[in-house]
Amino acid sequence: MTIPPAVRIQAAAVRALYALPEGLRRAIAGKSVVRDGQRLAPDAQVMLKLQRLSGVALVMPGGVGASRAAMEHSRHLVGGPTDRTVAARSVGIPQEHGESAATLYTPDGLAAGSGLLVLLHGGGWVIGSRASHDHVARFLARRAGVRVLSVEYRLAPEHPFPAAAEDAVAAFDYACAKAADLGADPERIAVGGDSAGGNLAAVVAQQAVRRGGPAPAFQLLLYPATDASTRRPSRGLFADGFLLTSADMDWFADRYAPAPADRTDPRLSPLLAEDLTGLPPAYIGTAGFDPLRDEGEAYARALKEAGVEVRLSRQSDLIHGYVNYLGLGGRFREAAAEAAEALRQAIGG
């Protein structure tokens, strides 16, 4: 994909800003932001300041189309240069409705029979794509030493709940059935995602275990949405000013699961599943300044209580979406590297 010159200039300016000495970046960030006993990282403060100045948000005034376009545009500014040491090829996943597109990422020199991550992108089930998360897929593949199958599931409002969940389950089934063709070890297939993608990954793990047969070896859940039926304290504490807002969450949910959808359905609210026993080990990463923080951490507690091996890691100084800002380095890259290392330890070489 050709990046417009104006976008290249904007991206270069952002990189130059984040290349400044730490003291200067702190000065640009301004007065420290402290909330709920947490101090926001200067890297995150600068990013939020840039976001406010640019007028770009997760939900744009132009609605679904404008919001999707803004996310695709933003990846060029904050995702960083494309890692060419990771090869990519297109894959078609058969579905009842036709075919879902996917991209298989393979790090240079990775032998056949590696672990594989089925990656489900974030974006509130409404925005986002394989393209918006290309840099995330490449980073995880290289740092964890695994193949990554990044899936293009159907989006709402054109395809409301449970379409995305159905596509996610079918993608996992495809990865298991075609593991040899994908160069993967069928015993080391993980599922993961960020935000809405983390929600879908949790749903896949539950559905696979409950029906019997192949199940994920590991879950990589990054600031996942786990309960659409209620509002926890973090929803109010970080309702506005930290990228994802409470109003955004309502907007996404109303498009993915409009009435009369049952928002207590475990395929939408995996935290509410009656039985969490027997699920695969999980790494759950949450962000301190995120309205989704409390429900992600509640899911970690529920899994532990059910006897599931869980590592919960709160990035207390960061905001929702932190793995998308790899090109900004600093704390964003550190947090993403921790998640990649958890994946490497679980299914890597």
**CA–CA dist 288, 37 (Å, integer):** 10
92 plus 64 within the same structural domain: no
290 is catalytic: yes
**Of the candidates 197, 198, 216, 195, the residue with the CA atom closest to the CA atom of residue 206:** 216
**CA–CA dist 109, 23 (Å, integer):** 40
Which of residues 20, 44, 74 is at a domain's end? 74
39 plus 91 within the same structural domain: no
Of 76, 121, 135, 320, the catalytic one is 320
Q: Which pTM value belongs to this model?
A: 0.96
Do the domain assignments include residue 306? yes
Per-residue pLDDT of the chain (349 residues; tens, 9 = 90+): 566 676 676 777 777 778 778 788 788 888 999 999 999 999 999 999 988 888 889 999 999 999 999 999 888 889 989 999 999 999 999 998 899 999 999 999 999 999 999 999 999 999 999 999 999 999 999 999 999 999 999 999 999 999 999 999 999 999 999 999 999 999 999 999 999 999 999 999 999 999 998 999 999 999 999 999 999 999 999 999 999 999 999 999 999 999 999 999 999 999 999 999 999 999 999 999 999 999 999 999 999 999 999 999 999 999 999 999 999 989 999 999 999 999 999 999 7
145 plus 270 within the same structural domain: yes
Long-range contacts of 261-269 (CB under 8 A, 24+ apart): 261/160, 261/161, 263/228, 263/229, 264/229, 265/161, 265/162, 266/203, 266/206, 267/161, 267/162, 267/165, 267/203, 267/207, 268/161, 268/162, 268/165, 268/199, 268/203, 268/228, 269/226, 269/227, 269/228, 269/229
Number of domains in the chain: 2
Do the domain assignments include residue 79? no
Residue 229 belongs to domain spanning: 85-347
27 plus 99 within the same structural domain: no
108 is catalytic: no
Of 67, 132, 195, 269, the catalytic one is 195
195 is catalytic: yes
Which of residues 49, 74, 99 is at a domain's end? 74
**Cα torsion through 26, 30, 31, 33, rounded to 10:** -80
111 plus 60 within the same structural domain: no
